[in-house]
Amino acid sequence: MQPLAGITVVSLEQAVAAPFATRQLADLGARVIKVERPEGDFARGYDERVRGLASYFVWCNRSKESIVLDLKTPEGAEALMRLVARADVLVQNLAPGSAARMGFDYATLKQAHPRLIVCDISGYGSGGPDEARKAYDLLIQSEAGFLSVTGDGPNPAKAGISVGDIAAGMYAYSTILAALIERDQTGHGQRLDISMLESLTEWMSFPLYYAFDGAPAPRRVGAEHATIYPYGPFPAADGEVMLGIQNDREWTIFCAEVLENAPLARDPRFDAVSRRSENRTALREIIAAAFAALTVVEVTAKLDAAGIANAAVNDMARLWHHDQLAARNRWRHVETPVGPVPSLLPPGLDEARMDPVPAIGEHTERILKELGL
Burial label for 356, CB within 10 Å (0-12, 13-18, 19+), is middle
Residue 45 in any domain: the answer is yes
65 and 148 both lie in a single domain = yes
190 and 247 both lie in a single domain = no
Burial label for 52, CB within 10 Å (0-12, 13-18, 19+), is exposed
pLDDT in tens, 42-94: 999 999 999 999 999 999 999 999 999 999 999 999 999 999 999 999 999 99
Determine the pLDDT at residue 29.
Answer: 98
| Strand ranges in the chain using DSSP code E only, listed in sequence order | 8-12, 31-36, 64-68, 89-92, 117-122, 191-195, 231-236, 239-244, 309-311, 331-334, 341-344
Which DSSP category does 344 fall into? E
Backbone angles phi and psi of 17, in degrees to 5? -60, -55
Query: Measured at the alpha carbon of residue 72, what is the angle toward residues 119 and 132, in degrees to the nearest 5?
Result: 50
44 and 136 both lie in a single domain = yes
Taking the C-alpha atoms of residue 51 and residue 292, their distance in angstroms, rounded to an integer, is: 42
CATH code, domain with 244 = 3.30.1540.10
Taking the C-alpha atoms of residue 373 and residue 230, their distance in angstroms, rounded to an integer, is: 64
Determine the pLDDT at residue 25.
Answer: 98
Averaged in consecutive runs of 10 residues, what is the pLDDT profile of the chain (373 residues)? 95 98 98 97 96 98 98 96 98 95 96 98 97 96 96 94 98 98 98 98 97 94 93 97 97 98 97 96 97 97 98 95 97 97 96 96 98 95
Q: How many domains, the chain? A: 2
What type of residue sits at position 215? A
Paired with 343 in beta bridges are: 332
335 and 305 both lie in a single domain = no
pLDDT in tens, 130-171: 999 999 999 999 999 999 999 999 999 999 999 999 999 999
Look at residues 46, 3, 21, 50 and name the one whose alpha carbon lies nearest to residue 341.
Answer: 50
Determine the pLDDT at residue 1.
Answer: 78
Q: Which of 70, 165, 315, 323 is catalytic?
A: 165
Quote the domain boundaries for residue 307: 231-317
262 and 344 both lie in a single domain = no
Taking the C-alpha atoms of residue 140 and residue 165, their distance in angstroms, rounded to an integer, is: 9
Determine the pLDDT at residue 367.
Answer: 98
Task: Give this prediction's pTM.
Answer: 0.93
Cβ atoms of 251 and 265 closer than 8 Å: yes
Catalytic residue check, 165: yes
CATH code, domain with 90 = 3.40.50.10540
Residue 288's Cβ-side half-sphere holds a number of Cα atoms within 13 Å equal to 12
